[in-house]
Amino acid sequence: VELERYLRKALEKQECFLVYQPLLDLMTGKIIGSEALLRWKHPKIGFVSPLEFIPIAEEIGFIHELGRWVLTEACMQTKKWHDLGFDSLMISVNVSATQFQHPTFFEDVQQALKQSQLPAHCLHLELTESSMLRNMYYSIHVMKKLQQLGVQVSIDDFGTGYSSLSYLKNLPINTLKIDRSFIYQLHQDRSDIAIVKSIITMGHGLRLKVVAEGVETAEQMKLLKRLKCHYAQGYAIFKPLSAEQFEQQVLQGN
Ligand code: G
Ligand code: G
Ligand code: MN
Ligand code: NA
């Protein structure tokens, strides 16, 4: 209950910030952008994980305000980097199920793009299978409108949901992000190799981009490259970075 009370005030008290985890193009070896990850640090209780506070934010109806803040902040930051000359950087933003289903979600995205002046094609939205399948027809309608705007739609944590392959054929998406549970032991587990290989092949066939998440070793990265996975993300490449660290460690080297 106390956490609820603190959370409602977190934005006005400026206790929230974003970190940015770089996304590597395995073919070119270049960083193409990042995923924005929300952080909350309360002065007394310290850091609270989004795994803990996002569900609370959904319950108390705070997720819409919080989600709008994340969208705007992520787009504004990326536009700043464009203005420094890195104008092909993309940004990927996580969207919770409740946030996505909210009637103003599409307008919130439009507003964030308008306010930041970030080109729509540089914004990727990460949805989970379960949030797409909740009210599937409405979800497809919203996803199509987003794509018409130029925004890209990704399935996050792919492989952990229980969507059937027939959905994949019909869902308006651009990218599959392979869940890190399949990557974690990739070089030593034949089943994981088989699964990841199949997802990548399927992605190519469906003309989707494929991202491997949670890449922690050089061997995993090498294997993913050999399997023609497009993009990779994980501690072996970069941990999530503050905006300043991203500028120093990523942009200045690129
Ligand atoms: O970054 P970290 O490992 O703490 O993230 C934990 C979980 O929180 C992940 O599932 C991630 O997708 C989610 N998450 C991080 N930032 C956001 C955000 O801005 N919005 C939503 N809805 N989820 C987020
Ligand atoms: O659910 P989602 O994929 O959005 O979760 C992103 C979270 O995964 C981030 O909070 C980030 O901290 C975490 N993460 C990113 N890279 C790695 C990694 O290589 N290994 C592990 N264990 N976690 C990672
Ligand atoms: Mn994600
Ligand atoms: Na994920």
User: Nearest CA to 93 among 12, 166, 169, 23?
Assistant: 23
| Distance (Å) from CA 133 to ligand 4 centroid | 17
Is pLDDT of 254 > 70? no
Rounded to the nearest angstrom, the distance between the alpha carbon of 138 and the centre of ligand 3 is 22
pLDDT of residue 161 exceeding 90 = no
pLDDT of residue 18: 98
CA distances from 56 to 24, 88, 212 (A): 32, 35, 29
Q: What percent of the chain has a predicted confidence (pLDDT) above 90?
A: 91
Place of tokens 């990727």: 124
pLDDT (0 to 100) of residue 245: 98
Tokens of 80: 């700043």
Structure tokens at 123: 């914004």
Average pLDDT, the chain: 96
Q: Is the pLDDT of residue 144 over 90?
A: yes
Domain of 194, CATH number, reads: 3.20.20.450
> Which residues keep their CB under 5 angstroms from ion ligand 3?
94, 126, 156
Write the CA distances from 230 to 49, 70, 177, integer angstroms: 29, 26, 10
Which H or E element spans position 218?
A: helix 218-226
CA atoms within 13 A on the CB side of 226: 9
Say what the pLDDT of residue 167 is: 84
Q: How many whole angstroms separate alpha carbon 83 and alpha carbon 86? A: 7
Per-residue pLDDT reduced to its tens digit, 63-88: 999 999 999 999 999 999 999 999 99
Atom of ligand 1 nearest to the CA of 63: 22
Would the CB of 240 count as within 6 Å of ligand 2? yes
User: Of the candidates 102, 165, 93, which has an alpha carbon nearest to the alpha carbon of residue 129?
Assistant: 165
Is a pLDDT exceeding 80 seen at residue 163?
no
Q: How far is CA 158 from the centre of its chain?
A: 12
Q: Are 19 and 39 in contact (CB under 8 A)?
A: yes
Helix, strand, coil percent values for the chain (each to nearest 5):
50, 20, 30
DSSP β-ladder status, 152-158 and 31-42: unpaired
- Give 149's contacts (C-beta < 8 A, 6+ positions apart): 109, 110, 113, 120
- Reported ipTM: the value is 0.97
Ligand 2 atom nearest 128 alpha carbon: 1
Beta carbon of 89 within 6 Å of any ligand 1 atom: no
Residue 223's pLDDT is: 96
Asked if residue 179 has its Cβ within 6 Å of ligand 2, the reply is no
Q: In this structure, which residue's CA is closest to atom 10 in ligand 2?
A: 37
Distance of CA 54 from the midpoint of ligand 1 (Å):
8
- Residue 70: domain span: 2-251
Which residue in this structure is represented by tokens 């797409």?
132
Q: Quote the pLDDT of residue 166.
A: 81
Cα–Cα distance, 251 to 254 (Å, whole number): 5
What is the residue with the minimal CA distance to atom 8 of ligand 1?
50
DSSP 182: G
Give the whole-angstrom CA distance, residue 54 versus residue 56: 5
Q: Is the CB of 51 under 6 A from ligand 1?
A: yes
Instruction: Please report the pLDDT score of residue 85 as a whole number.
Output: 97
Rounded to the nearest whole angstrom, what is the distance from the C-alpha of residue 180 to the centroid of ligand 4?
Answer: 7
Residue 236 has pLDDT above 80, yes or no: yes
Query: What residue has token string 């994949």?
Result: 168
- Looking at the structure of the chain, the number of domains it has is 1
In the chain, the percentage of residues whose pLDDT exceeds 70 is 99
User: Measured between alpha carbons, how far is residue 198 from residues 70, 87, 127, 176, 231 in Å?
Assistant: 33, 33, 21, 12, 16
**pLDDT for residue 102:** 96
